[in-house]
Structures are given as C-alpha cells and as structure tokens.
C-alpha cells in the first residue's frame, strides 16, 4: 500500500485565482500505436503454423469431406475450451490468457508465451513426422512422444500462472520531464509529456492550496519510492484523467488487509474522499461522478462549498478510516445535510 499524505494545518483551501495559471488545459491526444513484441509475434506465427500443419495432416489422412469440418471443430475446441476451465494456468498452454494483458505498467510473462510456443512446436514436429516418416511404428512412437513432451513442457511452464500472466514493467523505461513537479510516464505517452506535466502542475498546486502535501515527483511506477507519488496509468491522457490520477494518489491504493476478513467501515469513505480530492484538483464534476458515483460526488461538491478549514478538517477526520477496519468515517459535514456514515 502506498503511504498517504495528510493535510497540513496552515494552508488555505481556496485555489489561486490567476486566470493564466488555471485556464482549462487542452486534453492531450491518445498515444499512437506501436509494434508487438517480437516474442508475441513469433508465438502467433508458431501457432498459425501448428494449425496449418495439423490441418494438412488431417487432409492427407482422411477424406476431405471429413477432414475440413473436423479440423475446424478440433481447432475451436483446443483453443477455446481450456480458457474456460480451471485451474487457470491451463489456458496459457493454448494462449487463452493473453487477451487481458497488458496495461502500460505491465509486461507479459515469458512463461505464458513459452508455454504456448512449446505446445505448438510439438504439434508442428509431430505433424511433420507423421507426414514424412514411412515406418508406422516409428510414426506412432515418435508423434506420441513429441506430443507428450510438448504437453508436459508446456504445462510445467504454465503451472501456477494467474489468469493474467503479467509482470511489473521496468521503471527504467519511464520518461520524465519537469522539476516542480517532475512527471514520469511510460514511453508510449512521452510525446504528450509536456502537456501532461502542465496539467499535473496545475492539479498539484490546487491540492497544495487545499492544504495537502503532494510530492514533487509524480510517476506511473506502481512502486514510486520515497518522495514520489503513483498517479495511475491510463492509455488516454486527458486533463481529467491526469487530475484524477494525482488526486487519487493521495489515498491508499488498496483496502487494508483486514477488509478481507470482515467489515470495513471505511469503504463508504473512499468514494466521497476521492471525489473531493479530484474536484479540488480541478477535474470536471461529470467525469468524477462517472468514476465514483453521483451521490459520492454530490457529497464532495457540498463539502467544497464549506469554509477552507472545515473542508480540511472533514478530510483529516475521514481519511484515517481507509487504513484500518476499526475507524468509522464521519462524512456528514457540520451545518450541512450531507449524509453519510456517522
């Protein structure tokens, strides 16, 4: 879990009124497409060749009226069904778990790619042997041995993998810009970094004027390190996503571990607190409501109409509820019918 910053007591919650500093920032365009990793491209080529070889083998050994539909049915069953079965690692033997990977902060696990490639390569070799060998006994033993070795090797590589076989991306790939704040993004977004940095500087200054301590380094690395804040990862870097990413980075990334074992009273506080931070950072009310709910955003908007000190006290009173399962949030703001847990 990321360390959470707390409101400082002496700052003012009203943002500066400089029209140049806080004029609406244009939304950066989406990142351009790239090329697939060579390992993924090679895997799909091997899969295509395995399907072609198996289909050709069926066409040579069986009448075409039987071979064609049989090849289609077998191809569908062998690629589709393992992805619906448990244990989950079975799907990686036939590439069934790769469609959910990866976000900008992730890379595909080499084990998943290797598992699929090994089984497909075994099918290619077995089909080639069946098509070229003349001794029937050698064909039976050789093809059986190749398929068994392929299944065992593929299963060993896939064993234990989760549904989405990904690893954290190396932070060495990040591209950084600016000093106050310094913003670090993945290379796919590097061409938009100046615009992102400008929006981030605006959002950070708004949050600082609300009495919040925002680090001077904002990064897409999920393990940001000391003096840095994780701002999430997004493929479409609009002004709202940047502002909301910086705002939500001031709260814990995940619920406390005790939430898995029982009640978590602080759950009701996450939406209003994140909505308040996002609105304070300058995000549009419609975008915030779409992410965190209409009621939560309405409550946060009502809190935003209170005096600065009262807003700061409301945040400081409720933020600790996100860290344990014993602190109850008090979302109702004194003097307003804001509702919420008491």
CA dist., res. 331 & res. 1, Å (int): 23
First to last CA, the chain: 26
pLDDT at 279 over 70: yes
Dihedral sign (CA 113, 172, 241, 217):
positive
Q: Are 2 and 224 in contact (CB under 8 A)?
A: yes
Quote the tokens at residue 304.
Answer: 């935003």
pLDDT digit string, tens, across residues 225-241: 888 999 988 878 899 99
CA dist., res. 328 & res. 262, Å (int): 14
In terms of Cα–Cα distance, which of 285, 183, 280, 279 is closest to 237?
Answer: 183
Rounded to an integer, the average pLDDT of 120-124 is 95
pLDDT at position 336: 53
- From the number of C-beta atoms within 10 Å of its C-beta (0-12, 13-18, 19+), residue 181 rates as buried
Quote the tokens at residue 130.
Answer: 């069946």
pLDDT digit string, tens, across residues 25-52: 344 444 555 566 788 889 989 999 999 9
pLDDT at 137 over 50: yes
Beta pairing, strands 166-168 & 175-177: unpaired
CA dist., res. 74 & res. 51, Å (int): 10
pLDDT at position 21: 32
Rounded to an integer, the average pLDDT of 168-179 is 88
In terms of Cα–Cα distance, which of 236, 239, 241, 228 is closest to 199?
Answer: 239
Task: Identify the weakest region by mean pLDDT among 76-85, 170-179, 254-263.
Answer: 76-85
- 3-state SS record for 39-70: HHHHHHHHHHHHHHHHHHHHHHHCCHHHHHHH
Confidence of residue 293 (pLDDT cuts 50, 70, 90): very high
Dihedral sign (CA 194, 252, 327, 301):
positive
pLDDT at 270 over 50: yes
- From the number of C-beta atoms within 10 Å of its C-beta (0-12, 13-18, 19+), residue 174 rates as middle
C-alpha 280: how far from chain center: 25
Confidence of residue 116 (pLDDT cuts 50, 70, 90): very high
pLDDT at position 76: 85
CB count, 10 Å around CB of 5? 16
């Amino acid at each position: 879990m990321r360390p959470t910053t707390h409101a400082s007591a002496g700052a003012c919650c009203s943002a500066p009124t400089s029209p140049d500093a806080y004029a609406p920032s244009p939304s950066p365009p989406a990142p351009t497409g790239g090329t697939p990793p060579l390992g993924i491209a090679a895997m799909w080529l091997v899969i295509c060749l395995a399907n072609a070889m198996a289909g050709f083998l069926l066409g040579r050994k069986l009448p075409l009226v039987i071979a064609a539909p049989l090849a289609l049915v077998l191809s569908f069953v062998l690629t589709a069904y393992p992805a619906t079965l448990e244990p989950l690692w079975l799907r990686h033997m036939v590439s069934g778990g790769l469609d959910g990977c990866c976000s900008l902060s992730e890379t595909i696990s080499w084990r998943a790619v290797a598992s699929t490639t090994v089984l497909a390569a075994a099918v290619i070799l077995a089909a080639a042997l069946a098509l070229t060998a003349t001794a029937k006994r050698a064909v039976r033993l050789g093809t059986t041995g190749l398929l068994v070795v392929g299944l065992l090797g593929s299963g060993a590589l896939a064993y234990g993998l989760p549904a989405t076989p990904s690893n954290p991306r190396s932070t060495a790939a990040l591209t950084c810009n600016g000093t106050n704040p310094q913003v670090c993004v993945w290379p796919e977004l590097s061409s938009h970094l100046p615009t992102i940095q400008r929006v981030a500087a605006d959002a950070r200054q708004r949050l600082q004027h609300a009495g919040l301590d925002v680090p001077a380094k904002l990064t897409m690395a999920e393990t940001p390190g000391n003096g840095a804040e994780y701002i999430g990862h997004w493929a479409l870097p609009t002004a709202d996503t940047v502002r909301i990413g910086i705002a939500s980075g001031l709260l814990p990334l995940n619920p406390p571990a005790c939430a898995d074992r029982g009640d978590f009273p602080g759950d009701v506080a996450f939406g209003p607190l994140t909505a308040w931070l996002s609105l304070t950072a300058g995000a549009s009310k419609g975008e915030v409501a779409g992410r965190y709910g209409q009621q939560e955003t309405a409550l946060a908007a009502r809190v935003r109409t209170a005096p600065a000190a009262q807003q700061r006290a409301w945040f400081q009173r409720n933020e600790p509820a996100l860290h344990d399962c014993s602190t109850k949030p008090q979302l109702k703001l004194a003097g307003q019918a804001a509702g919420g847990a008491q």
